């Protein structure tokens, strides 16, 4: 399929471009277009000022290039200006803004002719309008468009999640996706046949089906294409080795559409995964046996491994949600995920050593047989606490028992509450505790603690001094530091 691309696309929508018409509509700038196309398809991705005779090396593409023509002599030839415009177009420049002061009183006629010939929009920037004002207006319009696009994506994500909770979740998600992208959404089965669809059927369906088959044959995650009719096609594989594909066709492709379709793909992967795979049936059987009173050692063989790792994880930014928890499980290679209030627990076969996951802090237990799962769960919890205290993305439980493993957790927490009560009793207790934890983890380094907390080093000194006063303790004593460290890790 000509023009087909099978490459990962960004998960975060890029900043939408700004229509040139929106900039021309700013009355405070008083810009006037002298040449070139002016339709809605002319957009700007930024603004750049340059007086270089050849701006080609300094352009990324899509910019409004602003110049006062200092490099153009008053007797500049048409050939010189034609070459200048040709280089702008070759670099991907979107438009040229020419200031009529202080170098030139008017826009050179040869420049107008060259821009018209090359189809480059030419704007006259009046003397009272500064280039910085024009550039600022471009960035303001881009930020406004970015905010609107993020709002659209957020609303789409919420509507897709609501659709997934309906009695008919798969058709509901497809309908919501088709409406949000203004096109067609189709779920293809492992054999490449349509299972369900939403949106108006169009000639692009044949191309969409072909793109889905191509995706399966190449074992890729996503693919995109553009048909002769101008429709934008995209396909997304749902899970690993299941053969389900989500196809999306839309008359246009806005920056956030890939993000919206990716969320729908994750939801559909969850909705189709458990009911269409032998591993899902085995997991259901294991769960039923456990609920009916079987020992873990009896149910575990149905899950396909003899030894396991328990992983505890917390997201760095916000409380975990179902989609994020399932995505984490997929990243760790296991669908056995438990979502609690603030921690996600994942049971992972021992042969799949977990690695760091972007945006998460992980604690990993030692390998354990099913009979030892409760102990491994406690190990993972302690490893996660250690990872968070030391700001490490992943901490694995050691093979040997440490000193803190000799003290039961409930007794350790009670001791921690008593020891740290003077700090917890003050209004700034949370900030003091976090500063003390970070300072101890960095071996009393003032500068490193200040950087880690994004505060001034004098603030760190003041907080540590106050901790010492509240506790009535000498924080230079290594025994005191050790006891406080254990207490902070257990609280």
Q: For 420-456, how does the pLDDT look when each residue is reduced to its tens digit (9 = 90+)?
A: 999 988 888 889 999 998 999 888 889 989 888 888 9
pLDDT in tens, 88-130: 999 999 999 999 988 888 999 999 999 999 999 999 999 999 9
* Contact indicator for 435, 453 with CB cutoff of 8 Å: yes
* pLDDT higher than 80, residue 80: yes
Q: Measured between alpha carbons, how far is 240 from 101 in angstroms, rounded to an integer?
A: 62
Please name the fold of domain 32-128. Answer: 3.40.1390
- Rounded to an integer, the average pLDDT of 470-490 is 87
CATH 1.10.10.2840 spans which residues of the chain?
407-490
> What confidence tier does 137 reach under pLDDT thresholds 50, 70, 90?
very high
pLDDT in tens, 237-269: 886 555 688 888 888 777 788 888 888 888 888
Q: Measured between alpha carbons, how far is 204 from 251 in angstroms, rounded to an integer?
A: 10
* pLDDT higher than 70, residue 190: no
Number of residues assigned to the chain: 491
CATH 3.30.70 spans which residues of the chain?
307-400
Most confident of 72-76, 116-120, 181-185, 252-256: 116-120
* pLDDT at 34 (0 to 100): 94
> What confidence tier does 2 reach under pLDDT thresholds 50, 70, 90?
very low
> What confidence tier does 83 reach under pLDDT thresholds 50, 70, 90?
very high
**C-beta neighbour count of 139 within 10 angstroms:** 13
Q: Measured between alpha carbons, how far is 212 from 218 in angstroms, rounded to an integer?
A: 10
**C-beta neighbour count of 451 within 10 angstroms:** 14
Q: H-helix or E-strand containing 468? A: helix 457-471
* pLDDT at 7 (0 to 100): 40
Closest CA to 128 of 100, 103, 106, 105: 100
* pLDDT at 35 (0 to 100): 94
Tokens of 464: 């540590």
Tokens of 230: 């101008």
- CATH architecture for residues 407-490: Orthogonal Bundle (1.10)
CATH 3.30.450.30 spans which residues of the chain?
142-273
Q: End-to-end distance of the chain based on CA atoms, in angstroms?
A: 59
Q: What is the SS3 assignment for 20?
A: helix
> What confidence tier does 281 reach under pLDDT thresholds 50, 70, 90?
low
Q: H-helix or E-strand containing 24? A: helix 20-24
Q: Measured between alpha carbons, how far is 89 from 454 in angstroms, rounded to an integer?
A: 45
Tokens of 475: 């924080």
* Strands 184-188 vs 245-250: parallel, antiparallel or unpaired: antiparallel
Q: Measured between alpha carbons, how far is 245 from 189 in angstroms, rounded to an integer?
A: 7
Most confident of 169-183, 201-215, 217-231, 387-401: 169-183
Handedness of CA 469, 473, 478, 479 (dihedral sign): negative
- Rounded to an integer, the average pLDDT of 29-51 is 90
* pLDDT at 325 (0 to 100): 75
The residues that bridge with 466 in the sheet, in sequence order, are none
Least confident of 37-41, 338-342, 402-406: 402-406
**What ranges in 74-203 are assigned the alpha helix state H?**
78-90, 109-118, 131-164, 169-181
Q: Measured between alpha carbons, how far is 317 from 314 in angstroms, rounded to an integer?
A: 9
Q: What is the SS3 assignment for 49?
A: strand
Rounded to 5 degrees, what are φ and ψ at 347?
-95, 115
Q: Measured between alpha carbons, how far is 65 from 440 in angstroms, rounded to an integer?
A: 53
Rounded to 5 degrees, what are φ and ψ at 67?
-150, 145
CA distance to 8, 169, 247, 248, 284, per residue, from 236 (Å) = 10, 18, 7, 9, 27
- Rounded to an integer, the average pLDDT of 8-32 is 78
Least confident of 65-74, 102-111, 137-146, 227-236: 227-236
* pLDDT higher than 90, residue 389: no
- Dihedral Cα 144, 148, 154, 160, nearest 10 deg: -160
**What ranges in 28-101 are assigned the alpha helix state H?**
78-90
Q: What is the mean pLDDT of the chain?
A: 82
- CATH architecture for residues 142-273: 2-Layer Sandwich (3.30)
Model pTM score: 0.46
Q: Does domain 307-400 have CATH number 1.25.40?
A: no
* pLDDT at 384 (0 to 100): 87
* Strands 46-49 vs 63-67: parallel, antiparallel or unpaired: parallel
CATH 3.40.1390.20 spans which residues of the chain?
32-128
* pLDDT at 5 (0 to 100): 46
């Amino acid at each position: 399929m000509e023009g087909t691309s099978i490459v990962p696309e960004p998960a975060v929508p890029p900043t939408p471009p700004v229509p040139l018409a929106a900039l021309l509509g700013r009355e405070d700038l008083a810009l006037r277009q002298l040449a070139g196309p002016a339709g809605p398809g002319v957009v700007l991705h930024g603004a750049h000022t340059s007086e270089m005779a050849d701006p080609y090396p300094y352009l990324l593409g899509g910019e409004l290039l602003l110049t006062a023509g200092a490099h153009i002599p008053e007797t500049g030839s048409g050939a010189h200006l034609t070459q200048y415009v040709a280089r702008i177009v070759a670099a991907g420049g979107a438009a040229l803004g020419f200031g009529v002061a202080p170098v030139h009183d008017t826009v050179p006629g040869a420049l107008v002719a060259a821009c018209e010939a090359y189809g480059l929009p030419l704007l006259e920037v009046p003397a009272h309008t500064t280039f910085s004002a024009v550039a600022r207006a471009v960035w303001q319009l881009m930020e406004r468009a970015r905010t609107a696009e993020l709002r659209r994506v957020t609303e789409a994500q919420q509507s897709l999640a609501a659709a997934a909770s309906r009695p008919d979740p798969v058709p509901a998600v497809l309908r919501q996706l088709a409406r949000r992208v203004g096109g067609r959404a189709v779920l293809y089965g492992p054999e490449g046949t349509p299972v369900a669809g939403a949106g108006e059927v169009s000639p692009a369906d044949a191309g969409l089906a072909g793109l889905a088959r191509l995706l399966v044959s190449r074992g890729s995650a996503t693919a995109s294409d553009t048909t002769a009719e101008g429709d934008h096609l995209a396909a997304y594989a749902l899970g690993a080795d299941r053969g389900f594909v989500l196809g999306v066709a839309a008359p246009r492709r806005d920056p956030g559409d890939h993000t919206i379709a990716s969320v729908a793909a994750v939801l559909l992967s969850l909705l189709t995964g458990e009911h269409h795979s032998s591993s899902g049936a085995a997991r259901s059987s294991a769960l039923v046996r456990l609920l009916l009173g079987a020992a873990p050692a009896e149910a575990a063989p149905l899950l396909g491994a003899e030894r396991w790792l328990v992983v505890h994880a917390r997201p760095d930014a916000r409380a975990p949600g179902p989609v994020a928890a399932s995505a984490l499980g997929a990243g760790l290679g296991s669908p056995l995920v438990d979502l609690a209030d603030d921690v996600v627990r994942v049971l992972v076969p021992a042969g799949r050593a977990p690695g760091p996951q972007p945006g998460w802090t992980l604690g990993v237990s030692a390998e354990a047989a099913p009979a030892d799962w409760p102990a491994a769960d406690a190990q993972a919890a302690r490893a996660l606490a250690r990872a968070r205290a030391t700001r490490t993305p992943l901490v694995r439980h050691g093979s040997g028992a440490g000193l803190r493993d000799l003290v039961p957790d409930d007794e350790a927490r009670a001791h921690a509450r008593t020891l740290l009560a003077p700090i917890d009793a003050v209004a700034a207790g949370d900030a003091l505790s976090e500063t003390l934890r970070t300072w101890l983890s960095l071996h009393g380094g003032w500068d490193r603690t200040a950087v880690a907390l994004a505060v001034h080093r004098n603030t760190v000194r003041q907080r540590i001094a106050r901790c010492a006063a509240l506790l009535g303790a000498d924080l230079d004593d290594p025994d005191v530091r050790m006891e406080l460290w254990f207490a902070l890790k257990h609280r």
